[in-house]
Amino acid sequence: MLKIKQIYTVLVSYNATEQELNLVVNELLRQTSFVVICNNSKIDLIYHHPKIKVLNFGDNLGIARAQTLGMTWAYEDGADFVLQMDQDSLPDPDMVKLLLESYLALGIANYNIGLIGPRAYDRYSKKLQSNKSNLAFFQKGKIVVDFEGIDFVDSMISSGSLIPKIAFQKNGGMLDELFIDHVDLEYCWRLKANGFLIARNNKAKLAHRSGEGRLRFLIIFDVAVSAPIRHYYWFRNFLYLFNRNYVPTYWKLINAHKIIFRILFYPFFLNNGFERLKFMLLGLKDGFIKKMYSIDSIK
């Protein structure tokens, strides 16, 4: 008799409203065995439910550290898989079922899957995330023969990612010092360096919100808008990862150009432009010397 797989959700929360969090938690309780809430807020969360565990950290440890602690707790408690989620995402009703089914089928076909994720769409506009990007020419993604709707890709966003215990045992947790930006990318690349494949099931869907929207300027430029402080982490973490040999060369080259573009244009075309520039330059400085801050210490 086939053992029922125990899937634990690891949900990272940061200053979420009760309504926002409950919507996600209730859906995850329908689709997974257990929900571990990793609370990065200063105010404790309290849930009286036998299938919910809250890890109240009392401070913002960052997404990476929170995910690592949540995954460690889940696997020690008996999880076979961890589903990573954040408070801004909501899975379609059959998302987890489709991910697990495709993971098991790929395993039977001797594919060593370290992570499998869904195809994301914008939670508000309902627009599907494109399978194409400015990195598409360089990425080594490919359609999996005999598995309709399944692709092998270089990386996935963390939210909606299903990770088996064997991958965690070999790969470990997130790179905690990254704090927030590039955490999911680095984890996928490290999985690949350790012999695992990253898969995407295009039939499994995740409603997701990234950043604070997008802005078009000078007609041709369409950029994601984030809080100014996020530039610090983006710039710092890029340099921190630059010399790691498992990080793809195409990513290094394209993002080196993005650094130049952001420094030259963001201060003049985005709100709080010079505050953004301050964080960019600080991120460059700390990235060069590999000095890793927490968010509170640089505000």
Could you please report the per-residue DSSP string of 113-148?
A: EEEEEEEEEETTT-PBPPS--TTTTT---EEPTTST
Helix (H, G, I), strand (E, B) or coil at 224: strand
Q: For 176-188, what is each residue's pLDDT tens digit?
A: 999 999 999 999 9
pLDDT of residue 209: 77
Contact between 21 and 12 (Cβ < 8 Å): no
When the pLDDT of each residue in the chain is averaged and rounded to a whole number, the result is 89
Q: For 213-260, what is each residue's pLDDT tens digit?
A: 555 555 555 566 788 999 999 999 999 999 999 999 999 999 999 999
pLDDT of residue 3: 67
Percent of the chain exceeding pLDDT 70 equals 86
Distance CA 17, CA 136 (A): 36
pLDDT of residue 126: 78
Select from 282, 274, 287, 285 the least CA-distant residue to 299: 282
Question: Considering the entire predicted model, what is its pTM?
Answer: 0.90
How many H-runs (helices) and E-runs (strands) does the chain carry? 8, 12
Q: Does the pLDDT of residue 156 top 60, yes or no?
A: yes
Domains within the chain, CATH numbers bracketed: 7-208 (3.90.550.10), 214-298 (no CATH)
Token pair of 147 as six digits: 């598995």
∠ CA 296-187-162, nearest 5°, is 105
Select from 293, 153, 137, 172 the least CA-distant residue to 229: 293
Q: For 92-128, what is each residue's pLDDT tens digit?
A: 999 999 999 999 999 999 999 999 999 999 877 778 8
Helix (H, G, I), strand (E, B) or coil at 50: coil
Sequence-distant contacts of 122-127: CB under 8 A, at least 24 apart = 122/207, 122/208, 122/209, 123/88, 123/89, 123/90, 123/207, 123/208, 123/209, 124/209
- Exposure letters 168-186 (e unless 16+ CB within 10 A, then b): beebebbbbbbbbbbbbbb
Q: Based on C-alpha coordinates, what's the Rg of the chain? A: 19
Looking at per-residue confidence, does 142 or 232 come out higher? Answer: 232
Burial class (CB in 10 A: 0-12, 13-18, 19+), 74: buried
Distance CA 163, CA 70 (A): 13
pLDDT of residue 295: 58
Q: For 71-88, what is each residue's pLDDT tens digit?
A: 999 999 999 999 999 999
Distance CA 75, CA 70 (A): 9
pLDDT of residue 100: 97
pLDDT of residue 63: 96
pLDDT of residue 141: 52
Distance CA 234, CA 144 (A): 32
**What φ, ψ does residue 192 adopt, rounded to 5°?**
-65, -40
- Exposure letters 257-268 (e unless 16+ CB within 10 A, then b): eebeebbeebbe
- Quote the distance between the C-alpha of residue 241 and its chain's center: 16
Q: Does the pLDDT of residue 292 top 90, yes or no?
A: no
